[in-house]
Amino acid sequence: MKIKIGTALELVVNLLLPWLVYRLTHPALGDLGALYASAAPPLLWSLAEFAKVRRVDALSVLVLLGIVLSVSVMAIGGSQRILLVRESLVSGLIGVVFLLSLLRERPLVYYLARATMARQQADGVARFETAWRERPPLRANLRMMTAAWGSALTAETLLRCWLAWHWPIERSLVALPIISYAIYGAMMGWTVWMQKRIRARERAAAQPHETPPPIRLEEAS
């Protein structure tokens, strides 16, 4: 229940309140000023979370990093529509990093999975390294997951940018975060499914193969 309440508050702060602040401040501040004002709820939420538990939730980090990037771009001649895709500026950069990591022997998902194993088990790193060396299907699956996440994040950025430049600002402010959540949700569901599939294959590979009992001569005759 606490998780559900926290998630609901996070969605309200990062989706509903920015749109509401935009609507209320637009008559006095205009498009650009209202977009800057709409960044206040996630900023205050992030500061409150940090003061409370000394951590910042992932969504607010994306929002705040996006604001920094968008303001930096506007300082060298950008437009106010860049503020509409501020979160995607970060996720798009991450997506490119995912894709570029495929050029290396160990893709980015390898390091994420390795860190997860290290937190879950005392000998997790050693077990994961052994599985990486000895099981080619695991390597192929991790590379596929890296390619999928990199492609999805990059495509999400391109889609949001196109819509932000072709839709009215108010419609974009409401719809673009929903589109991003739908893409992230689909990718998270696919990732969970892939993890279960990989674990099932790992368990099947670890089980000894049963050998049929020897045929007796009297049975053969």
DSSP track, 61-82:
HHHHHHHHHHHHHHHTT--GGG
Does 219 map to a domain?
A: no
Does 80 map to a domain?
A: yes
Does 41 map to a domain?
A: yes
* Whole-number pLDDT of residue 102: 92
* Whole-number pLDDT of residue 208: 59
Q: How far is CA 129 from CA 110, 124, 138, 167, 188, in A?
A: 10, 8, 11, 48, 24
* Whole-number pLDDT of residue 24: 86
Return the number of other C-beta atoms located less than 10 Å from residue 151's C-beta.
Answer: 14
Residues 188, 196: Cα–Cα separation, whole Å: 12
* Whole-number pLDDT of residue 218: 46
Does 50 map to a domain?
A: yes
Does 23 map to a domain?
A: yes
Does 221 map to a domain?
A: no
Does 215 map to a domain?
A: no
* Whole-number pLDDT of residue 34: 74
The DSSP code for 211 is P
Token output for 197: 């599939």
Q: Which parts of the chain register pLDDT below 70?
A: 1-7, 11, 15, 31-32, 49-80, 83, 86-87, 116, 119-120, 202, 205-221
The number of folded domains in the chain is: 1
* Whole-number pLDDT of residue 155: 92
* Whole-number pLDDT of residue 1: 46
State residue 56 phi and psi, 5-degree precision: -120, 130
Does 74 map to a domain?
A: yes
Domain containing residue 35: 2-206
Comparing C-alpha atoms, which of 152, 19, 170 is closest to residue 88? 152
* Whole-number pLDDT of residue 221: 41
* Whole-number pLDDT of residue 2: 47
pLDDT digits 0-9 by tens, 85-104: 766 777 788 888 889 989 98
